[in-house]
Amino acid sequence: MNSTAIINNDLGFAGSDDPVELDRGVRNTIRGISLSILTIGLTLARIKADKLFLDLGFKNITAYIEGLSKDTKSDRGNIFSWLKIGETYIKYRDDLEKIGFSNDDGPTKLPYLEQALENAPKQEVFDKLMLMSQRQFKAFAKSNKGKSEEAPPLWEIRGNILYMKGQRAAIINRNLGRRKTKMLMGALRAACRAIERRGCLVAVHLRNWDEVEQFEPAAKRIRSRIQKK
């Protein structure tokens, strides 16, 4: 996606493609002209994502921020924090736009958004993002208050997605067709059951369902005989 498209037009210089204009806008904003932390963050995120720091004579974003800190007499830690704000806004832009989040709602809360989403339900997190102060939201994000006490299952399948301990592990493309999808999902279930039982999984290729019907009872008898030894 073109990085220009991910920034609102009302952010002024932040929507420019000119690295010099972006750099000048950040510097002027840091110095106190039209102060907007969200605008600074989005601009820094663009400079990093599009590697525009190269056009400004810096080898990487860290070197650019070091130079920016020195030239504007700003704390480098604050600038890195503003960068994080911009990157977080871009990553969760759709959700933030849905709730009407803006610079007036406290962009300094954004660096804690991902941590909060790990510990609490999504709807609760975005509700608190709008209602809480920065200090309150930071404390909420760092707590495990919203996390379920029950551990996630070792594995589960939701639709065409396999999750292992709550983490997405595999996705089967539905466009493969019903037969192939069913076969692949069955293979995933068998693999998960083997992992759950700390066993081994052996794949046997059979040509058709007639062979499967003949093979299954014979395989069960052999397995039972082996395990009795």
Per-residue pLDDT of the chain (229 residues; tens, 9 = 90+): 344 443 444 346 667 778 888 887 777 766 654 457 888 899 999 999 999 999 999 999 999 999 999 998 888 898 999 999 999 999 999 999 888 888 878 899 999 999 999 888 898 999 999 988 889 999 999 886 544 455 678 888 887 788 888 788 888 887 888 888 888 888 888 888 888 877 787 888 888 878 878 888 888 888 777 877 6
Residue type, 4: T
Sequence ranges of the domains in the chain: 1-91, 95-150, 155-228
CB 129 within 8 A of CB 99: yes
Rounded CA separation 195/81 (Å): 42
Neighbours of 223 (CB within 10 A): 11
Please give the model's pTM, rounded to 2 decimal places. Answer: 0.52
